[in-house]
Amino acid sequence: MSRQSNRTTDSKKMNSELFTLTYGALVTQLCKDYENDEEVNKQLDKMGYNIGVRLIEDFLARSSVGRCHDFRETADVIAKVAFKMYLGVTPSVTNWSPAGDEFSLILESNPLVDFVELPDNHNNLVYSNLLCGALRGALEMVQMAVDVRFAQDTLRGDSVTEIRMKFIKRIEENLPAGDE
């Protein structure tokens, strides 16, 4: 009896559903625990941040990406390597600001929202906010302070999912962030 996992596409797909379903169960639980959507968004962001600070190590260990020299390179690595590695999708990088410090990631499909519909009483819920926290946490660990938010969301009726990332500053000191 082989102990290797069955690496067919079915198996990969199943794992993605495990993640998607677990994420759904998490959001459902948070909605029950907190009275309003803003609070849930905040919790998702915090949890995403905690995941991001660990995920970056996994990412750097598994990809052979070196230090990025500028924000444009960072954007490319996030879209073409990180998103592909973890979510199996490659967003496009567009809408650069003139100063080159802000860009958008456009996702045709968001794996987190398979099977998901937002009920009417959760209009302010940013369902995939975990992604924003994760990106923020991961980049903070490589000395970049960024602001990440959803500009468009297919769950709210938009045609694509758009994540807007803005570079704030380079973090000079290596102090651990006290966000826990």
Partner 1 sequence: MADDSLFEFLHMEIVSHVYKEQESRGDNDKERGTCVSLLECMGFRVGQGLIERFTKDSPGFKDELDVMKFLCKDFWTNIFRKQIDNLRTNHQGTYVLQDNRFALITQLSSGQQYLEDAPKYLAFSCGLLRGALSNLGLESVVTAEVSLMPACKFQVVIQKA
Kindly provide the residue ranges of all beta strands, DSSP E only, lying in 69-114, ordered along the sequence: 92-94, 102-107
Contact with partner 1 (CB under 8 A) among 47, 77, 145, 171: 47
Sign of the dihedral defined by the CA atoms of residues 109, 110, 111, 115, in that order: negative
Contact set for partner 1, span 87-126 (CB under 8 A)? 87-88, 111, 115
Minimum distance of partner 1 from residue 102's CB (angstroms): 26
> Is the CB of 27 or the CB of 106 nearer to partner 1?
27
Minimum distance of partner 1 from residue 4's CB (angstroms): 8
Place of tokens 């519909």: 117
Q: Report the C-alpha gap between 59 and 29 in whole angstroms.
A: 28
**One-letter-per-residue 3-state SS of 106-171:** EECCCHHHCCCCCCCCCCCCCCCHHHHHHHHHHHHCCCEEEEEEEEECHHHCCCCEEEEEEEEEEC
Minimum distance of partner 1 from residue 96's CB (angstroms): 28
Minimum distance of partner 1 from residue 23's CB (angstroms): 7
Contact with partner 1 (CB under 8 A) among 40, 55, 138, 165: 55
Q: In the complex, which residues of this chain contact partner 1 (CB under 8 A)? A: 1, 3-6, 10-26, 28-29, 33, 43, 47, 50-51, 54-55, 58, 85-88, 111, 115, 130
